[in-house]
Amino acid sequence: MREVRRLDFAVDISERALDMATGLESTNPWLQQPQAAAIALFRAIEARKYAHTWRKENPIHVGACGISLPDRDHFTAYIHGANFKPEQYGPINTHAEEEVLYAARSVLNVLAVVGDVQPDDNTGLAAETLLPCSAVCLPMLKASQSLESHSLILSANPDLSVVQYYGVPELNKVYETGDVGELITVHLETSLAADDAEWNEKIFLPLIDRIVERLSGVGDLLPEQ
């Protein structure tokens, strides 16, 4: 799968160099977030292949992947989901994010969502990527015990030419204000992150800075398992 290659190109920083650069212990599992983001996005693309919708014209196919923090036994869970709505007015309407959160049994480091772009059905809010919907997914994200303040959510279009990332508070504020400026938006010149240097510059290194800033001053934060 393509996500294996994403590990190959990710910035190669030794543990000692990471310690010196961030001032944090490199064993802190939150520091795996930039690598996990790349893996989750490509796994979400794969999960999207299993999406099913009643729509024949302009179908919406969504895939999601959540990657947990390692537990006390150093086990990391990879959880996948896809939207499933076989009938327009039928009782079944499963969201990709819903499947991931339902199956999660520990804190998620990263949740990635990849899908066809459309405005939010409830609010009409239009972003450059498909955001978790305000009516179903946002309340679920806010209530989930599998997401903490440092958990990262990424939304991307299917070719990864646009990636937006944020936390639950930022997404909530976007829907409250209608201002998508709360999201970090990255435009990539090459599809499917084919340019390693561009990915490192625009995604990988900024995500390192983001998680280090969030961890600074709170010590070697570890979630309760």
The listed CATH number (3.40.140.10, 3.30.70.3000, 3.50.50.60, 1.10.357.10) that belongs to domain 2-215: 3.40.140.10
In the block, tokens 């302009």 appear at 58
Can you tell me the distance from the alpha carbon of 122 to that of 133, in angstroms, rounded to the nearest whole number? Answer: 8
Determine the average pLDDT of the residues in 22-49. Answer: 85
Determine the average pLDDT of the residues in 160-178. Answer: 96
Bridge partners of residue 16, in order along the sequence: none
Nearest to 144 by CA among 123, 179, 172: 172
- Whole-model pTM: value is 0.86
> Which 8-state DSSP code applies to residue 106?
S
Can you tell me the distance from the alpha carbon of 166 to that of 168, in angstroms, rounded to the nearest whole number? Answer: 7
pLDDT, tens digit, 9 for 90 and up, residues 139-163: 999 999 999 999 999 999 999 999 9
The pLDDT score that the predictor gives to residue 152 is 97
> Which 8-state DSSP code applies to residue 213?
H
The pLDDT score that the predictor gives to residue 225 is 42
Report domain extents, the chain: 2-215
pLDDT, tens digit, 9 for 90 and up, residues 89-128: 888 889 999 999 999 999 999 999 999 999 999 999 999 9
The rounded percent of the chain whose pLDDT value lies above 90 is 64
